[in-house]
Amino acid sequence: MPRHPIRALLAALLLLTLSACALLPNHDPLNISVVGIEPLQSQDLEVRFAVKLRLQNPNETPIDYTGVALDLDVNGRLLASGVSDQQGTIGRFSEAIVVVPITVSAFNALRQAVGLADNQGVINNLPYVLHGKLAGGLFGTMRFSDSGTLSMPKSLNSTW
């Protein structure tokens, strides 16, 4: 009989926890890229788009998902957000296209316009961050982000 049963129990729990962590699969992050944006029917004070995402799974195991959520920040401010309850599987070393409807509210558009006014109307090289999550159960949720800059096409830029 151990002299300190609580110490022995804590040590056993610690070893069990460490061995359980070692059994968890080591996943590389998904590669996410926006491959298209199409307009959707909008309501009164909002604009809606369908964002097409290419999800690439560089892992040896398939990834099951049960929903997608997106937020799009432009120039440091939230511009659009969206969710989808799509379900599916991205096979091992495979890819899939997921379409997520996003909404730009009038208030977010107004906030962006005020931000552009603060930048003296500069609309080239606006920084954006797309971040979201691919839901997959209790421990399967994968978060992702993509960032870059938005620029107007030269044909539109020359008219400004």
**Tokens coding 7:** 């110490």
Whole-model pTM? Answer: 0.69
Two tokens, residue 126: 């606006």
Q: Which domains does the chain have, with CATH numbers?
A: 28-154 (2.60.40.10)
How far is residue 54's CA from residue 31's CA, in Å, rounded to a whole number? 8
CA distance 147 to 131: 8
Q: Decide if pLDDT at 99 tops 90.
A: yes
Neighbours of 49 (CB within 10 A): 19
Tens digits of residue pLDDT in 37-66: 889 998 888 889 998 999 999 999 898 899
pLDDT in tens, 130-150: 899 999 866 678 888 888 887
Contact 77, 107 (CB under 8 A): no
How many residues are there in the chain?
Answer: 160
Given a contact cutoff of 8 angstroms between Cβ atoms, the answer to whether 134 and 88 are in contact is no
Average pLDDT in the chain: 79
Region 19-32: mean pLDDT is 66
